[in-house]
Chain A
Amino acid sequence: MAVLDPHHLQATTGAWRQLRGDRWALMGAALVAGFVLLAVLAPLLTALSHTDPYTYDIEALDAAGVPMGMFGGVSGAHWLGVEPQTGRDLFAILVYGARTSLLVGLGATAVSVVAGTVVGVVAGYTGGFADMLLSRFTDLMLAFPSLIFMIALGAIVPSSFPKALFIVLVIGAFGWPSVARVVRGLTLTLRTRDFVLAARAIGAPTSRILRAEIWPNLASSVTVLATMAVPGAITAEAALSFLGIGVTPPTPSWGRTIANAVSWIQVDPWYLLAPGAALFLLTLGFNMLGDGLRDAYDPRVSGSRG
């Protein structure tokens, strides 16, 4: 027997309507979709350009390693120019870099959101000793200077371990505590709501209450949390690559390209343009979408941006 909670169904449909009218959120969604498309179609796109992100093209460089020609070596062969010192194709690096960013961003978010939700729900719903233990553990994780540990762990992980997976796990591992906190708080309030109490009163099994009563009411918040966590994870990957401990070269990564490109800015500013803009736009896209989603589910502060 299901105890209906008409409230959350209403909220969801209302949110969709609101989201459809939110130009910012739609723009964000379009940006995200665009990059996803770029990442998915990367092999096809580079087949069209006859390039890959790995092959050196020293012929495209002068003796000092600077790309020859206008706009950082833009030509029929290299649509966005080439990398200084190696002559690798920047277009290929851009589209394959989108794969890295999205893969790590979404993967790490999935890890942190799943782990955070499980911990949060268990802590919030069970209460008592388990809650205290889990909450303290969450606090402990939040107290860790995470970037430092990511760097240190990056140095000790064996090379046989896939680096991309490692980055996903490590960003996820330091991302879940904040999710857990919010979810625990929400679960705590939900636990005392009438429809949950009613379900418990009639003896519904816990698993069923979690699935049928708690989760549907958490789902929207978790979606918002997830969307808002993605740009953080993408930025974190770029920052790690920027510090030289991201995915193993030569796997393309925007963060690494940006790190290299900044020092070339006065000689070859075009080198920085594409990866810098891409990272910014993808982060912006997720932020706008996440904002729109949050506004949609929380009508009190929405509608500001017409």
Chain B
Amino acid sequence: MRLRLGSALVALALTTTLAACGGANSTSGDVEGGQKGGTLTILTSSTSITLDPANSWNLAVTTLGLLDRRLTNWKVGTSGEAEVVPDLATDTGTPSENGKTWTYTLKDGIEFSDGTPITSKDVKYAIERTYAPALSEGIGYHRSLLAGSDGYQGPFDGKELDSIETPDDKTIVFHLNAPYGDWPWIVSTTSTAPVPAGKAPADTFGQKPVTSGPYAVESYTAGGDLVLVRNEHWDAETDSVRTAGPDKIVIRQGQDPAVEAQKLIADAPADQKTFGADFVPPAQLAQIQGKPDAKKRLVTSGPGALEYLALNTQSPKLKDVKVRQALNYAIDRKAYIVAAGGPVSADAASTLITPGIAGREDYELYDAGESGDVAKAKSLLASAGVKDLALTLIATNDATDVAKAEAIQQAYAKVGVKVTIKPLEQDAWTTTATGDDAGAYDLSLGSWQPDYPSAAGNIQPLFDSSQIGGGGYNISRYTSAAADELIKKALAETDEDAAGKLWAQADRTILGDAPVVPLIYTKNSFLHGSKVADFYIGSFPAYPVYTAVTLKP
């Protein structure tokens, strides 16, 4: 069990970037009725949980889903694609002006954990808070979409954001800069989780937040336990997303993922009402194969997040598309999959849009076989006139990531390309890959999961030329007028089928320029104790649905 330096990275991964939009048809988990009551324990290697919704990167189905409601939410079942459904609002939004204005009406009978009714002003205030410098850490797609928000610094000094209107306590209207078809998904993020208007100071609200979901915070220790108890003012009648089974939930932080998995494999009486929030490490996955009892309690998602090798198109060594195509042919996906934990953890990838996302078309542009087409790669390199290619590969400093990088190093050595691995701390990796210095690396391992299930989330952040440097995730530093144009057209399209076709076209166009080598679609595995019920992974994201878990007596 390797000690994890930045175990909270896993938390980041959990709540943010690396999840997967799981395959629609291959969801799994044991769904059997548990009952109300009991204390559920969740083990996690994370060491900090952000309780102020404005700063949170949580997916709708994990921790903050237990605490906070939003305007809309995700309906995540064991089959079919994830759907956007109403949560606090009565519907998923009424657009006008081709999607530039969106109107929502709040349900009746919704209250905060302190007993006060939730009004549209509380939702507006919550969104305004996300513009304050102290609270701008969360998922912020709405920030640039809302009209007239340039230079807005939050509501604390009495200023309001005029593009959010609240004509009465039940109605809220959003005015956007441009038509945006995915707005109903945007308001499913934590940014629309209501906070009591005027009573949520930036520095102390997150210590003991007033919540709107089925649970309230009893106590929180940094790196220690987060204890949740029932919010008596939550009314199940108004909530179609959360089942709120357990009476109490303890989230225990700072766990070593290997020890955590071993605990759950052992399933001692004290750990039976427990599940792990971390992926089961490869060693424990192998260990489970020989243990039918534990195997029953292992839940694996369908193919989800895309892992890819970014080829820095601005590096002089990789300017030539032939070289980049050669690297696509030379890849040894079999070795990479073994390093990633074997077929139980990964499927070979060939497209940018991940399985289970509307609009995806399956195709293979560079047929490298299982272990790479060395001859083809060599001839492409020769025709590009490249000799003695030496490349720097950056990866995060994590045992599995380094093993993956080594698999790539091995594969490219076979075609005479020398790869030097530079392992970086997660934060240093982010700064290097998303920073402004295009010359800092040639190759980088990348992994991406959209924050909501839409092909836009697969393509735009990674390949739009506006996302190069300055914190953007276009780490291939790929610029193409054709691709930019397609992305722009697809984003504005409000018809889902038409948008899907445009995204599929963008997928092929981009991959033709070979700015990345698609490697695998990851499959995440989780373990739970024998008295945990309704534990499943939906079609999106490839994480257990915390809000549905119940306990057996």
Contacts and interface: CB of A to CB of B under 8 A. Distances in A.
Contacts, number: 92
Nearest to B427: A155
A56 interface: yes
Interface of A: 54-56, 58, 61, 63-66, 84-86, 151, 155, 159, 242-245, 248-250, 259-260, 262-264, 266-268
A250 B409 contact: yes
A263 B281 contact: yes
B344 A64 contact: yes
Given A63-B343, A86-B338, A249-B402, A244 B282 contact: no
Given A86-B403, A244-B5, A264-B286, 8 more contacts: A64-B286, A85-B341, A85-B403, A245-B5, A249-B406, A259-B399, A266-B287, A268-B286
Contacts of A244: 2-3, 5, 397-399, 402, 423
B284 A56 contact: no
A248 B2 contact: no
Nearest to B422: A159
Interface on chain B toward A: helix, strand, loop, or mixed SS?
helix
B257 to A, nearest CB: 9
Central interface residue in B281, B341, B343, B425, by most chain A CB within 10 Å: B425
Given A66-B286, A84-B283, A58 B335 contact: yes
A235 to B, nearest CB: 15
B423 A249 contact: yes
B339 interface: yes
B24 interface: no
Contact of B282 (A58, A85, A259, A262): A85
Given A56-B407, A244-B397, A267 B286 contact: yes
Contact of A248 (B262, B342, B403, B421): B421
Interface in B300-321: none
Contacts of A151: 5
Contacts of B285: 64
Interface string B252-287: 000000100010000000000000000001111111
23 contacts: A56-B410, A58-B338, A65-B286, A85-B403, A151-B5, A155-B425, A159-B420, A159-B422, A242-B2, A243-B3, A244-B3, A244-B5, A245-B5, A248-B421, A248-B423, A249-B406, A262-B2, A263-B258, A264-B283, A266-B287, A267-B283, A267-B287, A268-B283
A84 B286 contact: yes
A65 B334 CA distance: 11
Given A64-B342, A155-B428, A55 B287 contact: no
A86 B2 contact: no
A52 B372 CA distance: 22
B465 interface: no
B334 A259 contact: no
A259 B410 contact: no
